[in-house]
Protein backbone atom coordinates (compact mmCIF):
# COMPACT_ATOMS: atom_id res chain seq x y z
CA UNK A 1 0.00 0.00 0.00
CA UNK A 2 2.64 2.52 1.10
CA UNK A 3 5.90 0.81 0.16
CA UNK A 4 4.96 -1.30 -2.89
CA UNK A 5 8.50 -2.55 -3.48
CA UNK A 6 8.51 -4.32 -0.09
CA UNK A 7 7.47 -7.67 -1.52
CA UNK A 8 10.17 -9.82 0.04
CA UNK A 9 9.23 -12.75 2.26
CA UNK A 10 10.18 -14.53 5.47
CA UNK A 11 12.08 -17.01 3.29
CA UNK A 12 14.59 -14.38 2.12
CA UNK A 13 14.85 -13.00 5.65
CA UNK A 14 15.56 -16.46 7.06
CA UNK A 15 18.31 -17.02 4.49
CA UNK A 16 19.68 -13.56 5.31
CA UNK A 17 19.73 -14.30 9.03
CA UNK A 18 21.60 -17.53 8.38
CA UNK A 19 24.05 -15.66 6.13
CA UNK A 20 24.75 -13.19 8.94
CA UNK A 21 25.28 -16.10 11.30
CA UNK A 22 27.92 -17.44 8.93
CA UNK A 23 29.59 -14.01 9.00
CA UNK A 24 30.08 -14.30 12.77
CA UNK A 25 30.45 -18.08 12.96
CA UNK A 26 34.11 -17.90 13.92
CA UNK A 27 33.38 -15.51 16.79
CA UNK A 28 30.69 -17.89 18.05
CA UNK A 29 32.96 -20.91 17.65
CA UNK A 30 35.62 -19.20 19.78
CA UNK A 31 33.15 -18.57 22.61
CA UNK A 32 32.63 -21.56 24.85
CA UNK A 33 30.76 -23.76 22.34
CA UNK A 34 31.49 -27.10 20.71
CA UNK A 35 31.33 -27.49 16.92
CA UNK A 36 28.04 -29.41 17.23
CA UNK A 37 26.55 -26.58 19.29
CA UNK A 38 27.68 -24.01 16.74
CA UNK A 39 26.00 -26.06 14.00
CA UNK A 40 22.77 -26.24 16.04
CA UNK A 41 22.84 -22.48 16.53
CA UNK A 42 23.19 -22.00 12.77
CA UNK A 43 20.13 -24.20 12.23
CA UNK A 44 18.14 -22.04 14.63
CA UNK A 45 19.16 -18.93 12.70
CA UNK A 46 17.75 -20.55 9.55
CA UNK A 47 14.54 -21.89 11.13
CA UNK A 48 13.80 -19.11 13.64
CA UNK A 49 10.72 -17.82 11.74
CA UNK A 50 9.38 -21.15 10.48
CA UNK A 51 6.22 -20.85 12.58
CA UNK A 52 4.88 -17.65 11.03
CA UNK A 53 1.26 -17.82 9.87
CA UNK A 54 -0.22 -15.84 6.94
CA UNK A 55 0.53 -12.10 7.13
CA UNK A 56 3.08 -12.77 9.90
CA UNK A 57 2.73 -10.41 12.88
CA UNK A 58 -0.59 -9.13 11.55
CA UNK A 59 -2.02 -12.58 12.23
CA UNK A 60 -0.82 -12.29 15.82
CA UNK A 61 -2.65 -8.95 16.14
CA UNK A 62 -5.80 -10.83 15.17
CA UNK A 63 -5.61 -12.89 18.35
CA UNK A 64 -6.09 -9.72 20.44
CA UNK A 65 -9.32 -9.10 18.49
CA UNK A 66 -10.50 -12.72 18.58
CA UNK A 67 -10.46 -12.53 22.38
CA UNK A 68 -13.46 -10.17 22.13
CA UNK A 69 -15.18 -11.77 19.13
CA UNK A 70 -15.08 -15.38 20.33
CA UNK A 71 -13.46 -16.01 23.71
CA UNK A 72 -13.94 -19.79 23.46
CA UNK A 73 -11.98 -20.10 20.22
CA UNK A 74 -9.34 -17.72 21.55
CA UNK A 75 -8.88 -19.90 24.64
CA UNK A 76 -8.90 -23.07 22.53
CA UNK A 77 -5.95 -21.83 20.47
CA UNK A 78 -3.96 -20.65 23.48
CA UNK A 79 -4.50 -23.86 25.42
CA UNK A 80 -3.29 -25.95 22.48
CA UNK A 81 0.10 -24.26 22.77
CA UNK A 82 0.58 -23.16 26.36
CA UNK A 83 -1.93 -25.22 28.32
CA UNK A 84 -3.25 -21.96 29.77
CA UNK A 85 -4.87 -18.68 28.74
CA UNK A 86 -1.55 -16.87 28.48
CA UNK A 87 1.36 -17.18 26.06
CA UNK A 88 4.96 -16.85 27.24
CA UNK A 89 6.15 -16.03 23.72
CA UNK A 90 4.74 -14.96 20.38
CA UNK A 91 2.33 -17.33 18.67
CA UNK A 92 4.67 -18.03 15.75
CA UNK A 93 7.39 -19.13 18.17
CA UNK A 94 5.10 -21.76 19.70
CA UNK A 95 4.14 -22.95 16.23
CA UNK A 96 7.79 -23.04 15.16
CA UNK A 97 8.66 -25.28 18.10
CA UNK A 98 5.88 -27.72 17.20
CA UNK A 99 6.93 -27.78 13.53
CA UNK A 100 10.54 -28.54 14.49
CA UNK A 101 9.35 -31.41 16.69
CA UNK A 102 7.30 -32.72 13.76
CA UNK A 103 10.46 -32.55 11.60
CA UNK A 104 12.27 -34.75 14.13
CA UNK A 105 14.45 -31.90 15.38
CA UNK A 106 13.71 -32.24 19.11
CA UNK A 107 17.02 -30.77 20.26
CA UNK A 108 16.58 -27.73 18.04
CA UNK A 109 12.96 -27.33 19.22
CA UNK A 110 14.14 -27.36 22.84
CA UNK A 111 16.77 -24.73 22.10
CA UNK A 112 14.18 -22.56 20.36
CA UNK A 113 11.86 -22.90 23.34
CA UNK A 114 14.49 -21.69 25.79
CA UNK A 115 15.74 -18.89 23.52
CA UNK A 116 12.28 -17.39 22.99
CA UNK A 117 10.52 -18.33 26.23
CA UNK A 118 13.33 -18.47 28.76
CA UNK A 119 14.23 -21.40 31.02
CA UNK A 120 11.33 -23.32 32.53
CA UNK A 121 11.14 -26.94 33.54
CA UNK A 122 14.10 -27.56 31.25
CA UNK A 123 16.28 -26.25 34.08
CA UNK A 124 19.98 -25.56 33.83
CA UNK A 125 22.03 -28.15 31.98
CA UNK A 126 25.26 -28.63 30.08
CA UNK A 127 23.96 -26.54 27.19
CA UNK A 128 23.57 -23.44 29.33
CA UNK A 129 26.29 -21.57 27.41
CA UNK A 130 24.62 -22.48 24.11
CA UNK A 131 21.27 -21.19 25.31
CA UNK A 132 22.66 -17.89 26.55
CA UNK A 133 24.75 -17.23 23.45
CA UNK A 134 21.78 -18.17 21.25
CA UNK A 135 19.63 -15.62 23.09
CA UNK A 136 22.35 -13.01 22.65
CA UNK A 137 22.83 -13.33 18.91
CA UNK A 138 19.24 -14.27 17.90
CA UNK A 139 16.86 -12.78 20.46
CA UNK A 140 18.65 -10.14 22.50
CA UNK A 141 15.81 -7.61 21.98
CA UNK A 142 18.31 -4.93 20.94
CA UNK A 143 21.20 -6.03 18.70
CA UNK A 144 21.15 -9.43 17.01
CA UNK A 145 21.42 -11.01 13.56
CA UNK A 146 17.63 -11.26 13.16
CA UNK A 147 17.23 -7.49 13.54
CA UNK A 148 20.33 -6.67 11.54
CA UNK A 149 18.96 -8.56 8.55
CA UNK A 150 15.44 -7.17 8.53
CA UNK A 151 16.53 -3.57 9.16
CA UNK A 152 18.85 -3.61 6.15
CA UNK A 153 16.47 -5.62 3.96
CA UNK A 154 13.39 -3.52 4.76
CA UNK A 155 15.32 -0.28 4.36
CA UNK A 156 16.53 -1.32 0.92
CA UNK A 157 13.13 -2.41 -0.38
CA UNK A 158 11.18 0.48 1.16
CA UNK A 159 13.57 3.05 -0.31
CA UNK A 160 14.20 4.56 3.14
CA UNK A 161 17.80 5.25 4.09
CA UNK A 162 17.55 4.65 7.83
CA UNK A 163 18.69 1.02 7.72
CA UNK A 164 21.93 1.59 5.79
CA UNK A 165 24.22 0.41 8.57
CA UNK A 166 28.01 0.25 9.02
CA UNK A 167 27.65 -3.51 9.08
CA UNK A 168 31.35 -4.41 8.86
CA UNK A 169 32.12 -2.17 11.83
CA UNK A 170 29.23 -3.70 13.81
CA UNK A 171 30.91 -7.11 13.36
CA UNK A 172 34.00 -5.85 15.19
CA UNK A 173 33.09 -7.41 18.54
CA UNK A 174 33.94 -10.32 20.81
CA UNK A 175 31.50 -12.40 22.84
CA UNK A 176 32.28 -11.52 26.42
CA UNK A 177 31.35 -13.35 29.62
CA UNK A 178 31.02 -11.36 32.82
CA UNK A 179 29.25 -12.34 36.04
CA UNK A 180 27.79 -15.41 34.37
CA UNK A 181 26.19 -13.45 31.51
CA UNK A 182 27.19 -13.04 27.87
CA UNK A 183 27.41 -9.70 26.07
CA UNK A 184 28.91 -8.10 22.98
CA UNK A 185 32.26 -6.49 23.73
CA UNK A 186 33.26 -3.55 21.51
CA UNK A 187 36.13 -1.11 21.53
CA UNK A 188 35.09 2.35 22.64
CA UNK A 189 35.65 3.64 19.10
CA UNK A 190 32.52 1.71 18.06
CA UNK A 191 30.29 4.09 20.02
CA UNK A 192 29.24 6.07 16.92
CA UNK A 193 28.44 2.90 14.97
CA UNK A 194 26.29 1.54 17.78
CA UNK A 195 24.53 4.87 18.10
CA UNK A 196 23.90 4.80 14.32
CA UNK A 197 22.35 1.34 14.64
CA UNK A 198 19.95 2.28 17.45
CA UNK A 199 18.93 5.52 15.73
CA UNK A 200 18.30 3.60 12.50
CA UNK A 201 16.18 1.04 14.31
CA UNK A 202 14.18 3.75 16.08
CA UNK A 203 13.40 5.60 12.86
CA UNK A 204 12.62 2.44 10.88
CA UNK A 205 9.95 1.58 13.42
CA UNK A 206 8.50 5.07 13.66
CA UNK A 207 8.50 5.90 9.95
CA UNK A 208 8.21 2.54 8.15
CA UNK A 209 6.83 -0.28 10.30
CA UNK A 210 4.45 1.98 12.24
CA UNK A 211 3.55 4.34 9.39
CA UNK A 212 -0.12 5.15 10.01
CA UNK A 213 -1.44 3.86 6.69
CA UNK A 214 0.58 0.65 7.11
CA UNK A 215 -0.66 0.31 10.68
CA UNK A 216 -4.32 0.84 9.76
CA UNK A 217 -4.23 -1.73 6.95
CA UNK A 218 -2.47 -4.20 9.25
CA UNK A 219 -5.28 -3.77 11.77
CA UNK A 220 -7.99 -4.10 9.09
CA UNK A 221 -6.44 -7.38 7.97
CA UNK A 222 -6.08 -8.52 11.60
CA UNK A 223 -9.77 -7.87 12.23
CA UNK A 224 -10.69 -9.72 9.04
CA UNK A 225 -8.70 -12.77 10.13
CA UNK A 226 -10.21 -12.70 13.64
CA UNK A 227 -13.73 -12.46 12.22
CA UNK A 228 -13.11 -15.34 9.82
CA UNK A 229 -11.93 -17.48 12.74
CA UNK A 230 -14.92 -16.44 14.86
CA UNK A 231 -17.30 -17.22 11.96
CA UNK A 232 -15.61 -20.63 11.39
CA UNK A 233 -14.45 -19.64 7.91
CA UNK A 234 -10.92 -20.37 9.14
CA UNK A 235 -10.85 -23.60 11.19
CA UNK A 236 -8.80 -23.28 14.37
CA UNK A 237 -7.00 -26.51 13.42
CA UNK A 238 -5.24 -24.62 10.61
CA UNK A 239 -3.42 -22.69 13.33
CA UNK A 240 -2.29 -25.43 15.69
CA UNK A 241 -2.27 -28.66 13.67
CA UNK A 242 1.21 -29.06 12.17
CA UNK A 243 -0.19 -31.36 9.46
CA UNK A 244 -2.57 -28.64 8.28
CA UNK A 245 -0.62 -25.43 8.88
CA UNK A 246 1.43 -25.89 5.71
CA UNK A 247 -1.77 -25.41 3.68
CA UNK A 248 -2.70 -22.21 5.52
CA UNK A 249 -1.59 -19.41 3.19
CA UNK A 250 -2.30 -15.75 2.56
CA UNK A 251 -3.96 -16.74 -0.72
CA UNK A 252 -6.50 -18.84 1.20
CA UNK A 253 -7.63 -15.86 3.27
CA UNK A 254 -7.81 -13.54 0.26
CA UNK A 255 -9.68 -16.16 -1.78
CA UNK A 256 -12.26 -16.58 1.00
CA UNK A 257 -12.76 -12.81 1.13
CA UNK A 258 -13.28 -12.66 -2.64
CA UNK A 259 -15.81 -15.51 -2.48
CA UNK A 260 -17.73 -13.70 0.28
CA UNK A 261 -17.89 -10.62 -1.94
CA UNK A 262 -19.12 -12.65 -4.92
CA UNK A 263 -21.80 -14.18 -2.71
CA UNK A 264 -23.06 -10.77 -1.63
CA UNK A 265 -22.06 -11.08 2.04
CA UNK A 266 -22.48 -7.53 3.40
CA UNK A 267 -20.74 -8.18 6.74
CA UNK A 268 -17.42 -8.51 4.92
CA UNK A 269 -17.95 -5.93 2.18
CA UNK A 270 -15.98 -3.11 3.86
CA UNK A 271 -13.03 -5.48 4.24
CA UNK A 272 -13.23 -6.32 0.54
CA UNK A 273 -13.36 -2.67 -0.47
CA UNK A 274 -10.42 -1.78 1.78
CA UNK A 275 -8.19 -4.66 0.68
CA UNK A 276 -9.14 -5.32 -2.95
CA UNK A 277 -10.37 -1.88 -4.05
CA UNK A 278 -7.89 0.07 -1.90
CA UNK A 279 -10.64 2.20 -0.34
CA UNK A 280 -8.74 4.00 2.40
CA UNK A 281 -10.05 4.49 5.90
CA UNK A 282 -10.05 7.97 7.34
CA UNK A 283 -7.15 8.27 9.72
CA UNK A 284 -6.06 10.17 12.80
CA UNK A 285 -2.65 10.11 14.44
CA UNK A 286 -1.76 10.97 18.02
CA UNK A 287 1.69 11.53 19.51
CA UNK A 288 3.09 13.01 22.71
CA UNK A 289 0.84 13.51 25.75
CA UNK A 290 -2.33 12.84 23.74
CA UNK A 291 -1.00 9.43 22.68
CA UNK A 292 -0.05 8.62 26.27
CA UNK A 293 -3.54 9.52 27.47
CA UNK A 294 -5.15 7.53 24.68
CA UNK A 295 -2.99 4.50 25.47
CA UNK A 296 -4.21 4.62 29.08
CA UNK A 297 -7.77 4.09 27.79
CA UNK A 298 -6.65 0.77 26.28
CA UNK A 299 -4.42 -0.36 29.13
CA UNK A 300 -5.85 -3.60 30.51
CA UNK A 301 -4.90 -2.40 34.00
CA UNK A 302 -7.66 0.15 33.42
CA UNK A 303 -10.12 -2.69 33.96
CA UNK A 304 -13.73 -1.93 33.12
CA UNK A 305 -12.88 1.08 30.97
CA UNK A 306 -10.53 -0.94 28.74
CA UNK A 307 -13.08 -3.77 28.35
CA UNK A 308 -15.74 -1.23 27.40
CA UNK A 309 -13.51 0.22 24.69
CA UNK A 310 -12.48 -3.15 23.24
CA UNK A 311 -16.03 -4.50 23.24
CA UNK A 312 -17.29 -1.40 21.43
CA UNK A 313 -14.53 -1.71 18.84
CA UNK A 314 -15.49 -5.38 18.35
CA UNK A 315 -19.11 -4.34 17.83
CA UNK A 316 -18.03 -1.93 15.08
CA UNK A 317 -16.99 -4.99 13.06
CA UNK A 318 -13.66 -3.68 11.81
CA UNK A 319 -15.04 -0.33 10.66
CA UNK A 320 -12.82 1.26 13.30
CA UNK A 321 -9.28 0.02 13.95
CA UNK A 322 -6.60 1.21 16.32
CA UNK A 323 -2.87 0.61 16.49
CA UNK A 324 -0.82 1.76 19.48
CA UNK A 325 2.96 1.47 19.28
CA UNK A 326 5.50 2.32 21.94
CA UNK A 327 8.99 2.78 20.55
CA UNK A 328 11.92 2.79 22.95
CA UNK A 329 15.52 1.76 22.55
CA UNK A 330 17.00 0.16 25.67
CA UNK A 331 20.49 -1.05 24.83
CA UNK A 332 21.60 -3.95 26.97
CA UNK A 333 24.05 -6.83 26.59
CA UNK A 334 26.56 -4.44 25.03
CA UNK A 335 29.83 -3.55 26.74
CA UNK A 336 32.51 -1.12 25.58
CA UNK A 337 36.18 -1.35 26.56
CA UNK A 338 38.22 1.78 27.10
CA UNK A 339 41.76 1.65 28.48
CA UNK A 340 41.10 -1.68 30.14
CA UNK A 341 37.83 -0.54 31.75
CA UNK A 342 34.54 -2.23 30.80
CA UNK A 343 31.48 0.04 30.58
CA UNK A 344 27.88 -0.96 29.84
CA UNK A 345 26.60 0.95 26.83
CA UNK A 346 23.49 2.19 28.65
CA UNK A 347 25.74 3.77 31.30
CA UNK A 348 27.64 5.99 28.84
CA UNK A 349 26.28 9.54 29.10
CA UNK A 350 27.43 10.60 25.64
CA UNK A 351 25.52 7.73 24.01
CA UNK A 352 22.41 9.40 22.60
CA UNK A 353 19.24 7.71 21.38
CA UNK A 354 15.72 9.19 21.25
CA UNK A 355 13.54 8.86 24.31
CA UNK A 356 10.41 6.72 24.37
CA UNK A 357 7.81 7.69 21.78
CA UNK A 358 4.18 6.54 21.65
CA UNK A 359 2.31 6.70 18.37
CA UNK A 360 -1.41 6.02 17.97
CA UNK A 361 -3.03 5.43 14.57
CA UNK A 362 -6.82 5.25 14.29
CA UNK A 363 -8.71 4.30 11.14
CA UNK A 364 -12.45 4.72 10.50
CA UNK A 365 -14.51 3.46 7.57
CA UNK A 366 -16.98 6.36 7.34
CA UNK A 367 -18.34 9.48 9.02
CA UNK A 368 -20.81 7.54 11.13
CA UNK A 369 -18.03 5.38 12.55
CA UNK A 370 -15.89 8.47 13.08
CA UNK A 371 -18.56 9.99 15.32
CA UNK A 372 -18.85 6.79 17.35
CA UNK A 373 -15.10 6.69 17.90
CA UNK A 374 -15.00 10.33 18.94
CA UNK A 375 -17.76 9.66 21.45
CA UNK A 376 -15.97 6.57 22.76
CA UNK A 377 -12.82 8.60 23.39
CA UNK A 378 -14.54 11.74 24.60
CA UNK A 379 -12.01 14.20 25.99
CA UNK A 380 -9.35 13.43 23.38
CA UNK A 381 -9.23 15.64 20.30
CA UNK A 382 -9.35 13.44 17.20
CA UNK A 383 -8.96 14.98 13.74
CA UNK A 384 -9.54 12.53 10.90
CA UNK A 385 -8.28 12.84 7.34
CA UNK A 386 -9.95 11.44 4.23
CA UNK A 387 -13.26 10.27 5.79
Secondary structure element (H or E) that encloses residue 185, with its range: strand 181-187
Helical H runs in 177-268? 191-204, 212-230, 237-240, 250-262
Confidence of residue 1 (pLDDT cuts 50, 70, 90): low
CA 191/CA 351 separation, integer angstroms: 7
- The pLDDT tens digits for 325-343 are 999 988 889 999 999 999 9
Q: Residue 287 pLDDT > 70, yes or no?
A: yes
End-to-end CA distance of the chain: 18
Q: Averaged over 204-222, what is the pLDDT?
A: 95
CA distance 63 to 49: 18
pLDDT band at 105 (very low <50, low <70, confident <90, very high): very high
pTM, entire model = 0.92
Give the whole-number percent of the chain exceeding pLDDT 70: 96
The pairing of strands 174-178 and 357-364 is: unpaired
Amino acid sequence: MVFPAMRHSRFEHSLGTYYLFERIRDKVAESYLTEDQVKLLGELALYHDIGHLPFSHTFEFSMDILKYLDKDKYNEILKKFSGSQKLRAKLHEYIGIEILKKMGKAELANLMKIVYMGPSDAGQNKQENLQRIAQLILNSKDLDIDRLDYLQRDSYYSGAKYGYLPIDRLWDFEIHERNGNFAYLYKYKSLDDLEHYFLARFHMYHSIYNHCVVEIYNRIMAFLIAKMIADSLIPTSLIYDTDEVIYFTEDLILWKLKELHKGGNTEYEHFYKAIYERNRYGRAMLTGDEATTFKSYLDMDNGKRADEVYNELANLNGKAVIGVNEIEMKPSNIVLERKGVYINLEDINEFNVPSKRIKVCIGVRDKQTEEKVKKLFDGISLEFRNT
